[in-house]
Amino acid sequence: MSTHQRTHRTTHRLSINAPADLVFSMLRDASHWPYLDGLTVYSERVSGDDVAHELRTSVVSNGSLSSSHSWRVFDAASHRAEFHQLELDTPLRELAGDWEIRPADGLSEVTLHHEFEVDDEDLAGRVIAIIEDYSRRELEALRVSCERLSLLLQHHAPQTQPTPPHSTAEPTPQPPPTAKEA
């Protein structure tokens, strides 16, 4: 077993054809994840509010069920969310990261960062492979869910027609049509 501790980092990016506000709200409200992402089977906000909260989730990862307990902090103005896992199983010593959503060319560019430390550096490659697989699946599920919801919202948005300004004045009389117009 290695005694040297090292922080490992991963980064994943994906463009989503949906507004940044919608993507951010989908990340913040985990209550609907079991219905949308195909990965989460259970999600519960244990304490907190929309700015910071404790979250418990259970997901299917690498063909098995795993649970997590995390603390999440949100900055709505910058469309950023940070997370820190509270209860970890070996070989993990630390696991944290953040989400960033930035508008880009009519899309939302979503970036997911992870940082972790392990007890045994020989297992770091295996942990990276799990994070890689899950992050790709999680981002793709987020993309599909957000794009579907965005289309649905666009389709059901009220169709407003410009209305002429209301006037209390009498309409201006029009001259009778000429022979050419009649």
pLDDT at position 95, please?
96
CA distance 85 to 62: 19
Sheet holding 64-75, edge to edge: 8-16, 107-118, 92-104, 80-85, 64-75, 52-61, 40-48
Closest to 55 (Cα-Cα) out of 93, 85, 21 = 85
* Residue 181, φ and ψ in degrees, nearest 5: -80, -25
pLDDT at position 38, please?
73
Question: Quick one: CA dihedral 62, 44, 92, 116, positive or negative?
Answer: positive
Question: Quick one: CA dihedral 27, 130, 43, 40, positive or negative?
Answer: positive
Mean pLDDT in runs of 10 for the chain (182 residues)? 75 97 94 81 94 93 85 97 93 95 95 96 91 91 93 82 54 55 49
